[in-house]
Amino acid sequence: QVQLVESGGGLVQAGGSLRLACTAKGIPFTILHMGWYRQAPGKQRELVAAITPSGSTNYGDSVKGRFTISRDNTKNTVDLQMNSLKPEDTAVYYCNGDTYYQSGNYWGQGTQVTVSS
């Protein structure tokens, strides 16, 4: 019954911006530690950004200063604002939710982000 649904992916030119959104259903959103991960062809899945229920954030080294994660607990959503995009940001981006204290972990289906040179 738990669902995480991503949206907002697409094609953008290098230097441009894109905003991803993830909506959670079937679970109390306020208990979830949320994160965005990405996986490019031939590469390992990596952490992009994470945010705790209280709003504390953490970012992967490759996106620090360019991406911003935020959450709206009234709408059960977490967003990823992506600025100054580079071709190496091209990947499938996945939304993740973790209950931390209850050992629950959930993944969205992913959304494709393609950055052209």
Higher pLDDT, 1 or 67: 67
Q: What is the pLDDT of residue 103?
A: 85
Taking residues 96-114, what's their average pLDDT? 95
Tens digits of residue pLDDT in 82-96: 999 999 999 999 999
Of 26, 24, 21, 23, nearest to 9 by C-alpha is 21
Q: Above 90 in pLDDT, residue 115?
A: yes
Of 60, 65, 57, 66, nearest to 46 by C-alpha is 60
Q: Above 90 in pLDDT, residue 102?
A: no
Q: Above 90 in pLDDT, residue 37?
A: yes
Residue type, 48: V
